[in-house]
Amino acid sequence: MPENEQVRPSAPLPRGTVLDLAGVSFLSGSLLAGGSPWRLVRLNERASSTVDGWRAGGRLASGSALARALVDRGLARPRWPPDWDRDAIDVIVPVHDDVETFAPLLAALGDYAVTVVDDGSRDPSAVARCAEEFGARLVRLEVNRGPGGARNAGARATTRPWLWFIDADVVLDDAVALGARLLASGNDPRVGAVAPRVRGVGGRGPRARFERAHGPLDLGPTGGLVAPQTARSYVPSACLLVRRDAFVGGFDETLRVGEDVDLVWRLSDAGWLVRYDADVAVGHLARATWRAWWRQRLTYGTSAAALGVRHGARLAPVVVDETVAPVFAGLLTGRLGLAGASTMALARRIDRELTRDLERRGALVVRLCARAVLGGAWATSRSLVRSYGPVLVAAALVPRLRRRVGLVIAIGTLWRWRGRGGFDPRDVPLAIADDLAYGLGVWLGAWRQRDATALTPVVAATSSR
C-alpha cells in the first residue's frame, strides 16, 4: 500500500478557534495533567497566562504554537460552530445484498451526494432500483471485494474534498446536523478523519438491550484524539469522515476486518490527527440472531493477528507502563512486599516530576500514585479478559488460582461500565460471552497467521512529560 503524505506538524489552528480545556486537570497555575496518553505538562509564566485566557473563553487571535501543542497532545479540543457544506462531502455507502437495511439510510441522506457501491450483490437489480429511487449514484463491482475494496471504489468514483463512509446498517437521525458537526472538525488543517459515537439501536430482548449499552463499535461517552496504544486507539469505519488529501492508499483491501484500525494508524503515522466526537452519535443495527452475534465478535477478534503482522507491538494485548507493572505483578501473585516497594518507587518518581513550590504536595503525590496504580490495574485486567478470556476461564477452574483469576475476570468485565453507569446484572453473562468470543477469535487468528504478536504483552517505557 502506498504511504500517506506527510503533514506539516506546524499547521496552525485558524483564527477564532475556541479551545475546550474541560478534560484537563490544573494542578497549579503552571502544571497541567491530562491528554492521551496521560501526562504532566509544565508551563512557563507567559504560557500560563495565555492558557488562563483560553479557559475564560478567549479565542485564538492568530496561529499559536502553544495551542497547536496542547491540541496535538490531547490536552485541548478545538471547537467551531457546525459547518455544513453539501458540496464538500461525498457520501459512500458499500452494500452487499442488504436492500431492506440500507433503504432507510439512503432516505436519511437525501441532502447529500451519495454513491452506493454494490459489492458483488447476488441481486444487483434490487440494489440498482433502490439507489435509483433515492437519487444515489451506483458503482457496481462484479466480484465481492470486501468493505475496504468497496469504499476504495467509491472514493475513486468521486471528487469532493471529504469522503463520508457510512455502512448500510447505520441509522441516522439528522444527517445534515451530524455532517455539519463532523465537518467542523476539519477546520483544523491537521485533522485527517473524524468519527461520531456508534451506539447499538435499542429494542426488545436481551441482545438488543446489551447492544444498546455495549455495542461492539461503541467507544464510550468520552471523545478526544485517536492514536495507537492510547485510551482511544481507533474509530470504526461504520461512520467515518475522511479528508481526501489524507486518504492516500485508501483501505487495505487484503483486510476483510480490521481495515479501519489499519487506516487510522497509517493516518496517525503520516502526521494526521484523528478525532472521536462522542457528543454526537449514530445507531448501529444488532445482528439478527445469536449465532450471527457470536460470529461477529469472533470475527472481530481474528483481525488482531493480521493487524499484528502489519503493526507489530501496537497490537499487544496488554500494554503496562514500566512503573506500574511491578505493582500489578505483586498484587496478582500475592507478593505484597514487591507491590508495596514498587508503589513507593512510583511515588518517588511522581514526586520528582512535580514543581517544588506546589501546595499540598504530599496529598497530590498520593492521589497521582493511586491513579496510576488503580488505573493500570483496571486497564490491565480489562486487556487480559479481552484477549486471554478463554485462558482465564480455564485457569479459574484451578482451586489455588480461582480467587485471584476470578478477581481479574470480575474487574475486567466490570470495566465495561466505567464512566457509563446504568449497570444491569442481566448484561453480565452477555459481557462474558462477548469477551470469550473475541478472545477465541484472537487465538484463532494467531494460529491462522502463525504469528503471536497479538498474544504477546508489552511493558512500555513511561511516556515523556
Mean pLDDT over the full length of the chain: 86
| pLDDT of 15 above 50 | yes
269-321 pLDDT per residue, tens: 999 999 999 999 999 988 889 999 999 999 999 999 999 999 998 888 887 77
Q: Nine-digit cell at 272?
A: 494526521
Alpha-helical segments (H) within 80-145:
99-108, 124-133
Q: Nine-digit cell at 234?
A: 481507533
Residue ranges, comma separated, of all CATH 3.90.550.10 domains in the chain are 86-286
Q: At what angle do helices 428-449 and 206-214 cross, to 10 degrees?
A: 70
Angle in degrees, CA 436, 439, 440, rounded to 5: 85
List CB contacts of 257: < 8 A, sequence separation 6 or more: 299, 300, 302, 303
370-401 pLDDT per residue, tens: 777 777 777 888 888 999 999 999 998 898 88
216-258 pLDDT per residue, tens: 999 999 899 999 888 789 999 999 999 999 998 999 999 999 9
At residue 372, the pLDDT reads 74
Residue type, 349: R
At residue 361, the pLDDT reads 65
Report d(CA 250, CA 364) in Å as an integer.
46
State the fold for domain 86-286: Spore Coat Polysaccharide Biosynthesis Protein SpsA; Chain A (3.90.550)
**186 C-beta neighbours (distance < 10 Å), count:** 22
Q: Pick 57 or 273 by higher pLDDT.
A: 273
Residue carrying the nine cell digits 451506539: 199
Cβ–Cβ < 8 Å for 54, 7: no
How does strand 191-200 pair with strand 273-284? parallel
Nearest alpha carbon to residue 4 among 260, 275, 266, 314 = 266
User: How many residues are there in the chain?
Assistant: 465
Cis amide linkage into residue 429, ω under 30° from 0: no
At residue 187, the pLDDT reads 92
Tell me the CB-side half-sphere exposure of residue 148, using CA atoms within 13 A.
18
